[in-house]
Amino acid sequence: MRASYDAVKQEAERVLGYIEADRLDPETQERIVKDSLENFPLYVTEAILKSRKSYADDVGVAEWEDEGAIFRDTKGNEYIDCLGGYGVYLLGHRHPRVLKAVKSQLDHQALHSQELIDPLRGYLSKLVAMITPGDLQHSYLVNAGTEANEMALKLARLATGKTWFISTEKGFHGKTMGSLSATGKGLYRKPYLPLVPGFQHVPYGNADAVEQAIYQLIQTGESVAGVIVEPIQGEGGVNIPPDDYLPRLREICDRYECLLIVDEVQTGMGRTGKLFGVDHSGVVPDIMTLGKAFGGGVAPIAAMVTKHRYWDKMEENPFILGSSTFGGNPMSAAAAIAAIHTVVAEDVPGIVATKGAYFLNELKTIQSRHQDKMVDVRGRGFLIGMEFRDDALGYEVAKALFRRRILVGGTLNNSRVIRIEPPYCISEEQINAVLDGVNSALKELS
């Protein structure tokens, strides 16, 4: 039943008081957690609570503050962040350079009118063209990675006049209908079948399978608009393809005149120790998508970037791909501009490559001592996967780490491979604390 205006006003004022407070008193700390445990089952969904390691037996931990490589709960307890928002916090929590840019932008404008020229859209798109490989030039700015992939798929059909896409098993490109059609995980797809037609999935890392799929479609009278692929599969289990995989996909796409779409939503901006995942192989895609860390960990923003020769349809009708109300808004664009500045000014890829190599090597040493429980460790830069014997064991390790105030990935039904994605600013001391935590958790589970 709709509440009175007075009741709504009182509730909003109460919550705004929490937001605007410099410090939470003990009573308020407890009240926020209690409210959250009541609000989620009633107004969100209780399943979200139950899926989180921070919730057990009707007792929860609510995050409230963050900075650098840590976040704090409502009581001020600090946690080392090795989950990183599944790739969002590459630059850490509230990076000062990004925060300054967003605050400065908010002082004179937050969103845009949709009619006057919005300068930051142009400035950001120019910077994207400057940092992406080869002749990638035009950007379409949106709000999230799945939206960027939707735009990529639509553009590929527009630019080629063709229909089908080749994607990969275990690939993840988002959960909106087009992106979900490209995604290769049955868990997410099955409830929504039939999805958008025209997608064929093949094993990841197998270029021969891609070529065979294209050949068979052409032989049966179909046409192939593009191949969509991640440089490293993240959600799929931190799967690294053979070194010649992307170069061979480039050659195959050129031969069959279809577009190579590379999803850099998780691997971009330095996450793998190079500016982009494709930089490990020197391949230039026809379309690239960006997201997650693109907004510097402060604002949501994503992008599709492509070559000039595929932009003709957009010149005919600039709204044919879409008309994202908030895409490329001044606040988010300011965050992305500051993020790009930080990545290149501080050599984030170089820092990630060095720290990531140490992290990975030490985890492999731990794995060698616990091979009965941890069957593999793999990754590049700060995209690392720890593979366990089964989901149950992986989830127990994730919970044991949370008890030690270390956050990693892993949910009750998806913990066979746990991702470690820390911010570039994580210290050696913090890395060693995580390593000690992993080792101790594995011993504890023995």
The structure tokens listed for 433 are: 């604390």
Q: Which residues contact 40 (CB under 8 A, 6 or more apart)?
A: 46, 48, 49
Cα–Cα distance for residue pair 185/172, rounded to 1 Å: 7
pLDDT of residue 221: 98
Backbone torsions φ then ψ of 134, nearest 5 degrees: 60, -140
pLDDT of residue 413: 66
In this structure, what is the dihedral angle of CA atoms 235, 236, 239, 242, given to the nearest 10 degrees? -120
The CA radius of gyration of the chain, in Å to the nearest whole number, is 23
Q: Which CATH superfamily, name and number, covers 348-444?
A: Aspartate Aminotransferase, domain 1 (3.90.1150.10)
Degrees, nearest 5: CA angle 292-293-296: 125
DSSP state of 238: S
Q: Is 433 left (phi over 0), alpha (psi -120 to 50) or beta?
A: alpha
Strands (E), 109-215: 136-142, 164-168, 199-202
pLDDT of residue 308: 95
Cα–Cα distance for residue pair 207/267, rounded to 1 Å: 20
Yes or no: say if 325 and 114 are a contact pair by the CB < 8 Å rule: yes
pLDDT of residue 47: 84
Backbone torsions φ then ψ of 88, nearest 5 degrees: -70, -40
Yes or no: say if 394 and 418 are a contact pair by the CB < 8 Å rule: yes
pLDDT of residue 200: 98
Q: Which residues contact 13 (CB under 8 A, 6 or more apart)?
A: none
pLDDT of residue 56: 60
Q: What is the DSSP string of 28-94?
A: HHHHHHHHHHHHHHHHS-HHHHHTSTTEETTEE--EEEEEBTEEEETT--EEEESSHHHHTTTT-BT
pLDDT in tens, 209-240: 999 999 999 999 999 999 999 999 999 999 99
Question: What is the Cα 2 distance to its own chain's centre?
Answer: 37
Cα dihedral sign, 129-133-139-140: negative
Strand-pair partners of 374: 388
Tell me which amino acid residue 154 is: K
Out of 3.40.640.10, 3.40.630.30, 3.40.50.150, 3.90.180.10, select the CATH number for domain 98-345. 3.40.640.10
In the chain, what are the domain boundaries?
A: 9-81, 98-345, 348-444
Q: Split the chain (446 residues) into runs of 10 and give each run's mean pLDDT.
A: 94 96 94 92 86 68 94 94 96 98 97 94 98 97 98 97 98 97 95 97 98 98 98 96 98 98 98 98 98 98 97 83 92 98 98 98 97 96 96 92 92 83 98 98 90
Question: What is the Cα 76 distance to its own chain's centre?
Answer: 27
Peptide bond into 194 cis (omega under 30): yes
pLDDT of residue 60: 78
pLDDT of residue 57: 52
pLDDT in tens, 37-85: 999 999 998 888 877 777 765 567 889 999 999 999 999 999 999 999 9
Backbone torsions φ then ψ of 223, nearest 5 degrees: -130, 150
Q: 307 by DSSP, 3-state: which?
A: strand
Quickly list H helices, 161-239: 177-182, 186-189, 207-219
